[in-house]
Protein backbone atom coordinates (compact mmCIF):
# COMPACT_ATOMS: atom_id res chain seq x y z
CA UNK A 1 0.00 0.00 0.00
CA UNK A 2 1.22 3.48 -0.91
CA UNK A 3 0.43 6.45 1.34
CA UNK A 4 1.12 10.03 0.27
CA UNK A 5 1.22 12.94 2.70
CA UNK A 6 0.53 16.28 1.06
CA UNK A 7 1.77 19.06 3.33
CA UNK A 8 4.40 16.91 5.05
CA UNK A 9 6.42 19.87 6.35
CA UNK A 10 3.55 21.62 8.18
CA UNK A 11 2.49 21.36 11.82
CA UNK A 12 -0.29 18.86 11.14
CA UNK A 13 1.83 17.01 8.58
CA UNK A 14 4.52 16.42 11.19
CA UNK A 15 1.98 15.11 13.69
CA UNK A 16 0.46 12.86 11.01
CA UNK A 17 3.88 11.25 10.53
CA UNK A 18 4.23 10.85 14.29
CA UNK A 19 0.82 9.15 14.58
CA UNK A 20 1.66 6.93 11.60
CA UNK A 21 4.97 5.92 13.20
CA UNK A 22 3.07 4.76 16.27
CA UNK A 23 1.23 2.29 14.03
CA UNK A 24 -1.96 2.29 16.08
CA UNK A 25 -4.43 3.03 13.30
CA UNK A 26 -2.53 2.10 10.12
CA UNK A 27 -0.09 -0.81 10.62
CA UNK A 28 3.34 0.21 9.35
CA UNK A 29 3.81 -3.29 7.99
CA UNK A 30 1.04 -2.54 5.49
CA UNK A 31 2.74 0.61 4.14
CA UNK A 32 5.05 -0.41 1.29
CA UNK A 33 5.75 3.13 0.15
CA UNK A 34 5.56 6.49 1.93
CA UNK A 35 5.42 9.54 -0.33
CA UNK A 36 5.91 12.91 1.41
CA UNK A 37 5.00 15.95 -0.65
CA UNK A 38 5.02 19.68 -0.02
CA UNK A 39 5.32 23.04 -1.75
CA UNK A 40 7.94 23.67 -4.41
CA UNK A 41 10.31 25.36 -1.94
CA UNK A 42 10.59 22.10 0.01
CA UNK A 43 10.92 19.71 -2.96
CA UNK A 44 14.18 17.76 -2.88
CA UNK A 45 14.80 18.29 0.82
CA UNK A 46 14.99 15.35 3.21
CA UNK A 47 12.44 14.42 5.83
CA UNK A 48 12.62 11.68 8.47
CA UNK A 49 9.90 9.08 8.88
CA UNK A 50 10.05 5.78 10.74
CA UNK A 51 13.87 5.94 11.09
CA UNK A 52 14.39 6.52 7.37
CA UNK A 53 15.15 9.54 5.23
CA UNK A 54 12.76 10.45 2.41
CA UNK A 55 13.04 13.07 -0.30
CA UNK A 56 10.12 15.47 -0.43
CA UNK A 57 8.24 15.28 -3.72
CA UNK A 58 6.16 17.81 -5.57
CA UNK A 59 2.42 17.21 -5.46
CA UNK A 60 2.44 16.23 -9.11
CA UNK A 61 5.21 13.69 -8.50
CA UNK A 62 3.16 12.22 -5.66
CA UNK A 63 0.16 11.98 -7.99
CA UNK A 64 2.21 10.14 -10.62
CA UNK A 65 3.14 7.49 -8.04
CA UNK A 66 -0.57 6.58 -7.79
CA UNK A 67 -0.93 6.26 -4.00
CA UNK A 68 -3.77 4.27 -2.45
CA UNK A 69 -4.35 6.94 0.21
CA UNK A 70 -3.41 10.61 0.14
CA UNK A 71 -3.52 12.54 3.39
CA UNK A 72 -4.00 16.22 2.56
CA UNK A 73 -2.95 18.94 5.00
CA UNK A 74 -1.83 21.76 2.76
CA UNK A 75 -4.77 24.18 2.88
CA UNK A 76 -8.08 24.53 1.09
CA UNK A 77 -6.69 26.01 -2.12
CA UNK A 78 -4.34 23.07 -2.67
CA UNK A 79 -7.07 20.58 -1.79
CA UNK A 80 -9.57 22.09 -4.20
CA UNK A 81 -7.06 21.85 -7.04
CA UNK A 82 -5.43 18.50 -6.36
CA UNK A 83 -7.83 16.28 -4.39
CA UNK A 84 -10.09 15.57 -7.41
CA UNK A 85 -7.03 14.67 -9.50
CA UNK A 86 -5.90 12.10 -6.94
CA UNK A 87 -9.46 10.77 -6.65
CA UNK A 88 -9.64 10.34 -10.43
CA UNK A 89 -6.65 8.01 -10.16
CA UNK A 90 -8.59 5.81 -7.72
CA UNK A 91 -6.84 7.21 -4.64
CA UNK A 92 -8.74 7.82 -1.41
CA UNK A 93 -8.15 11.41 -0.31
CA UNK A 94 -8.52 12.27 3.38
CA UNK A 95 -8.57 16.05 3.44
CA UNK A 96 -7.86 18.13 6.53
CA UNK A 97 -8.83 21.49 5.02
CA UNK A 98 -12.19 23.24 4.87
CA UNK A 99 -12.43 22.76 1.09
CA UNK A 100 -14.86 19.83 0.97
CA UNK A 101 -16.48 19.68 4.40
CA UNK A 102 -19.83 21.16 3.51
CA UNK A 103 -20.11 19.61 0.05
CA UNK A 104 -23.23 17.40 0.36
CA UNK A 105 -21.61 14.68 -1.74
CA UNK A 106 -18.48 14.44 0.45
CA UNK A 107 -18.59 12.48 3.73
CA UNK A 108 -17.49 14.49 6.78
CA UNK A 109 -16.29 11.84 9.20
CA UNK A 110 -15.49 11.36 12.87
CA UNK A 111 -14.99 7.58 13.20
CA UNK A 112 -16.49 7.35 16.70
CA UNK A 113 -19.65 9.13 15.50
CA UNK A 114 -20.48 8.41 11.84
CA UNK A 115 -18.23 5.70 10.37
CA UNK A 116 -21.22 4.63 8.24
CA UNK A 117 -20.68 7.77 6.13
CA UNK A 118 -17.71 6.02 4.50
CA UNK A 119 -19.07 3.79 1.75
CA UNK A 120 -16.18 3.68 -0.70
CA UNK A 121 -18.20 5.23 -3.50
CA UNK A 122 -16.78 8.69 -2.79
CA UNK A 123 -12.99 8.88 -2.93
CA UNK A 124 -12.69 12.24 -1.14
CA UNK A 125 -13.37 12.16 2.60
CA UNK A 126 -13.30 15.35 4.66
CA UNK A 127 -11.72 15.68 8.10
CA UNK A 128 -13.79 18.10 10.24
CA UNK A 129 -12.59 21.22 12.03
CA UNK A 130 -10.57 20.41 15.16
CA UNK A 131 -13.06 22.04 17.53
CA UNK A 132 -15.98 20.19 15.98
CA UNK A 133 -14.29 16.79 16.21
CA UNK A 134 -13.71 16.84 19.95
CA UNK A 135 -17.18 18.18 20.68
CA UNK A 136 -19.20 15.69 18.63
CA UNK A 137 -17.29 12.72 20.07
CA UNK A 138 -18.82 13.67 23.44
CA UNK A 139 -22.19 14.95 22.26
CA UNK A 140 -23.24 12.29 19.73
CA UNK A 141 -23.91 9.52 22.32
CA UNK A 142 -25.87 12.00 24.45
CA UNK A 143 -27.93 13.11 21.47
CA UNK A 144 -28.76 9.51 20.58
CA UNK A 145 -29.95 8.87 24.13
CA UNK A 146 -31.62 12.12 25.16
CA UNK A 147 -32.04 14.29 22.10
CA UNK A 148 -30.15 17.60 22.09
CA UNK A 149 -32.30 20.68 21.58
CA UNK A 150 -29.77 23.52 21.82
CA UNK A 151 -26.02 24.11 22.24
CA UNK A 152 -24.25 27.23 23.50
CA UNK A 153 -20.51 26.86 22.85
CA UNK A 154 -17.47 28.89 23.86
CA UNK A 155 -14.11 27.62 22.61
CA UNK A 156 -10.66 28.44 23.97
CA UNK A 157 -8.35 27.56 21.10
CA UNK A 158 -4.57 27.20 21.15
CA UNK A 159 -2.22 28.92 18.74
CA UNK A 160 -1.29 25.68 16.97
CA UNK A 161 -4.82 25.77 15.57
CA UNK A 162 -3.71 28.75 13.51
CA UNK A 163 -0.37 27.30 12.44
CA UNK A 164 3.40 27.67 12.71
CA UNK A 165 3.38 31.45 12.26
CA UNK A 166 1.07 31.83 15.27
CA UNK A 167 3.38 29.67 17.38
CA UNK A 168 6.28 31.89 16.30
CA UNK A 169 4.34 35.03 17.24
CA UNK A 170 3.67 33.68 20.73
CA UNK A 171 7.31 32.62 21.10
CA UNK A 172 8.57 36.02 19.98
CA UNK A 173 6.28 37.90 22.34
CA UNK A 174 7.28 35.77 25.31
CA UNK A 175 10.95 36.39 24.53
CA UNK A 176 10.48 40.10 23.86
CA UNK A 177 11.48 39.69 20.22
CA UNK A 178 9.78 41.80 17.57
CA UNK A 179 8.66 39.86 14.50
CA UNK A 180 5.86 39.26 12.06
CA UNK A 181 2.36 38.74 13.44
CA UNK A 182 -0.42 36.53 12.18
CA UNK A 183 -2.93 37.83 14.73
CA UNK A 184 -4.29 41.41 14.82
CA UNK A 185 -3.30 41.72 18.50
CA UNK A 186 -0.63 40.36 20.86
CA UNK A 187 -1.49 36.83 21.99
CA UNK A 188 0.85 36.47 24.98
CA UNK A 189 -0.90 37.46 28.23
CA UNK A 190 -4.00 38.11 26.17
CA UNK A 191 -7.11 36.45 24.73
CA UNK A 192 -9.41 37.67 22.00
CA UNK A 193 -12.81 36.53 20.67
CA UNK A 194 -11.64 36.18 17.09
CA UNK A 195 -11.10 32.94 15.19
CA UNK A 196 -11.32 32.96 11.41
CA UNK A 197 -12.84 35.86 9.47
CA UNK A 198 -15.82 37.94 10.53
CA UNK A 199 -19.00 37.47 8.52
CA UNK A 200 -21.89 39.90 7.83
CA UNK A 201 -23.97 38.15 10.55
CA UNK A 202 -21.40 39.10 13.21
CA UNK A 203 -20.13 35.55 13.65
CA UNK A 204 -16.77 34.28 12.43
CA UNK A 205 -16.07 31.53 9.94
CA UNK A 206 -14.77 29.32 12.78
CA UNK A 207 -18.01 29.79 14.70
CA UNK A 208 -20.17 28.95 11.72
CA UNK A 209 -18.08 25.82 11.04
CA UNK A 210 -19.03 24.51 14.48
CA UNK A 211 -22.70 24.88 13.64
CA UNK A 212 -22.68 23.55 10.09
CA UNK A 213 -20.29 20.66 10.70
CA UNK A 214 -22.08 19.49 13.86
CA UNK A 215 -25.38 19.39 11.97
CA UNK A 216 -23.83 17.37 9.14
CA UNK A 217 -21.81 14.86 11.20
CA UNK A 218 -24.58 14.16 13.71
CA UNK A 219 -27.28 14.28 11.01
CA UNK A 220 -29.20 16.62 13.28
CA UNK A 221 -30.04 19.89 11.52
CA UNK A 222 -32.74 20.56 14.12
CA UNK A 223 -30.21 21.30 16.91
CA UNK A 224 -29.99 25.04 17.57
CA UNK A 225 -26.37 26.13 17.96
CA UNK A 226 -24.66 29.38 18.87
CA UNK A 227 -20.97 29.82 19.59
CA UNK A 228 -18.08 32.15 20.40
CA UNK A 229 -14.53 31.25 19.38
CA UNK A 230 -11.72 32.59 21.57
CA UNK A 231 -7.98 32.40 20.95
CA UNK A 232 -5.81 31.82 24.04
CA UNK A 233 -2.01 31.86 24.64
CA UNK A 234 -1.68 28.07 24.84
CA UNK A 235 0.59 26.10 22.50
CA UNK A 236 -1.46 22.93 22.11
CA UNK A 237 -4.93 21.72 23.03
CA UNK A 238 -8.35 23.25 22.46
CA UNK A 239 -10.85 23.66 25.31
CA UNK A 240 -14.59 24.15 25.06
CA UNK A 241 -17.31 25.20 27.46
CA UNK A 242 -20.50 23.62 26.16
CA UNK A 243 -24.00 24.24 27.46
CA UNK A 244 -26.38 21.49 26.38
CA UNK A 245 -30.16 21.67 26.53
CA UNK A 246 -31.96 18.36 26.03
CA UNK A 247 -35.44 17.75 24.70
CA UNK A 248 -36.51 15.88 27.83
CA UNK A 249 -35.49 14.77 31.30
CA UNK A 250 -32.40 12.79 32.27
CA UNK A 251 -30.80 11.28 35.35
CA UNK A 252 -27.34 12.62 36.06
CA UNK A 253 -25.89 9.25 37.11
CA UNK A 254 -27.11 7.67 33.90
CA UNK A 255 -25.80 10.57 31.83
CA UNK A 256 -22.33 10.29 33.40
CA UNK A 257 -22.27 6.57 32.64
CA UNK A 258 -23.16 7.34 29.03
CA UNK A 259 -20.26 9.80 28.80
CA UNK A 260 -17.71 7.57 30.53
CA UNK A 261 -18.57 4.57 28.34
CA UNK A 262 -18.42 6.52 25.07
CA UNK A 263 -15.71 5.46 22.64
CA UNK A 264 -12.69 7.76 22.62
CA UNK A 265 -13.86 9.74 25.68
CA UNK A 266 -12.17 10.00 29.09
CA UNK A 267 -14.24 11.38 31.98
CA UNK A 268 -12.15 13.54 34.34
CA UNK A 269 -14.59 14.91 36.85
CA UNK A 270 -13.63 14.99 40.53
CA UNK A 271 -13.88 18.57 41.69
CA UNK A 272 -13.06 17.64 45.30
CA UNK A 273 -9.56 16.81 44.09
CA UNK A 274 -9.44 19.54 41.41
CA UNK A 275 -9.62 16.93 38.66
CA UNK A 276 -10.90 18.23 35.34
CA UNK A 277 -9.56 18.35 31.77
CA UNK A 278 -6.74 20.75 30.90
CA UNK A 279 -4.95 21.24 27.57
CA UNK A 280 -1.54 20.86 29.22
CA UNK A 281 -2.33 17.23 30.05
CA UNK A 282 -4.29 16.42 26.89
CA UNK A 283 -1.27 17.23 24.71
CA UNK A 284 0.04 14.17 22.91
CA UNK A 285 -3.10 12.13 23.64
CA UNK A 286 -5.71 10.85 21.20
CA UNK A 287 -8.64 10.80 23.58
CA UNK A 288 -11.20 13.53 24.20
CA UNK A 289 -11.39 14.58 27.85
CA UNK A 290 -14.57 15.86 29.50
CA UNK A 291 -15.38 17.12 32.99
CA UNK A 292 -17.15 19.80 35.07
CA UNK A 293 -20.41 18.12 34.08
CA UNK A 294 -23.20 19.70 36.09
CA UNK A 295 -26.87 20.52 35.77
CA UNK A 296 -27.76 23.90 34.35
CA UNK A 297 -30.16 25.26 36.95
CA UNK A 298 -31.37 28.01 34.59
CA UNK A 299 -33.24 25.61 32.28
CA UNK A 300 -35.33 22.51 32.90
CA UNK A 301 -33.26 19.96 30.98
CA UNK A 302 -29.73 21.32 30.68
CA UNK A 303 -26.11 20.61 31.61
CA UNK A 304 -22.75 22.37 31.35
CA UNK A 305 -19.55 20.55 30.45
CA UNK A 306 -15.88 21.24 29.70
CA UNK A 307 -14.27 19.40 26.76
CA UNK A 308 -10.53 19.31 25.98
CA UNK A 309 -8.46 17.56 23.31
CA UNK A 310 -5.15 17.85 21.48
CA UNK A 311 -6.14 19.78 18.37
CA UNK A 312 -3.21 18.49 16.29
CA UNK A 313 -3.85 14.86 17.15
CA UNK A 314 -7.54 13.99 17.62
CA UNK A 315 -8.47 17.34 16.11
CA UNK A 316 -6.58 16.56 12.89
CA UNK A 317 -3.92 13.86 12.44
CA UNK A 318 -5.38 11.07 14.56
CA UNK A 319 -8.87 11.49 13.11
CA UNK A 320 -7.42 11.29 9.59
CA UNK A 321 -5.44 8.13 10.37
CA UNK A 322 -8.50 6.58 12.02
CA UNK A 323 -10.37 7.16 8.76
CA UNK A 324 -7.50 5.53 6.83
CA UNK A 325 -7.69 2.59 9.23
CA UNK A 326 -11.41 2.19 8.52
CA UNK A 327 -10.71 2.05 4.78
CA UNK A 328 -8.25 -0.78 5.38
CA UNK A 329 -10.45 -2.65 7.88
CA UNK A 330 -13.37 -2.62 5.44
CA UNK A 331 -11.07 -3.84 2.67
CA UNK A 332 -11.87 -0.80 0.57
CA UNK A 333 -8.09 -0.73 0.28
CA UNK A 334 -6.16 -3.97 0.28
CA UNK A 335 -3.23 -3.68 2.69
Q: Which pLDDT score, from 0 to 100, does residue 57 have?
A: 98
Q: CB burial class (10 A; 0-12, 13-18, 19+) of residue 165?
A: middle
Active site (annotated) includes residue 130: yes
Summarised one tens digit per residue, pLDDT across range 145-176 is: 999 999 999 999 999 999 999 999 999 999 99
Summarised one tens digit per residue, pLDDT across range 120-142 is: 999 999 999 999 999 999 999 99
Q: Which residues contact 35 (CB under 8 A, 6 or more apart)?
A: 2, 3, 4, 5, 54, 57, 62, 65, 67
Catalytically annotated residue among 57, 91, 130, 143: 130
CA–CA distance, 196 with 194 (Å, rounded to integer): 7
Active site (annotated) includes residue 238: yes
Q: Which pLDDT score, from 0 to 100, does residue 328 have?
A: 94
Nearest CA to 146 out of 1, 256, 276 is that of: 256
Mean pLDDT of 253-272: 98
Catalytically annotated residue among 57, 91, 143, 238: 238
Q: Which domains does the chain have, with CATH numbers?
A: 2-127+316-329 (3.40.50.720), 131-311 (3.30.360.10)
**What percent of the chain is modeled with pLDDT above 70?**
99
Amino acid sequence: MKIALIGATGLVGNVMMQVMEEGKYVPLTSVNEFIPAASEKSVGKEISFNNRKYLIHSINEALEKKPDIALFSAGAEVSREWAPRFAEKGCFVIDNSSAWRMNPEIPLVVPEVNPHAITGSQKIIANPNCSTIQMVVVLAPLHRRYGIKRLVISTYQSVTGTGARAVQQLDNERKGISGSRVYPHPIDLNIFPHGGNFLPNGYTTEEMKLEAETHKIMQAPEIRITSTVVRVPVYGGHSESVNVEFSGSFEMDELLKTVSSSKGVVLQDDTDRAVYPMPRYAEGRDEVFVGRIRKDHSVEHGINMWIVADNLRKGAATNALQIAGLLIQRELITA
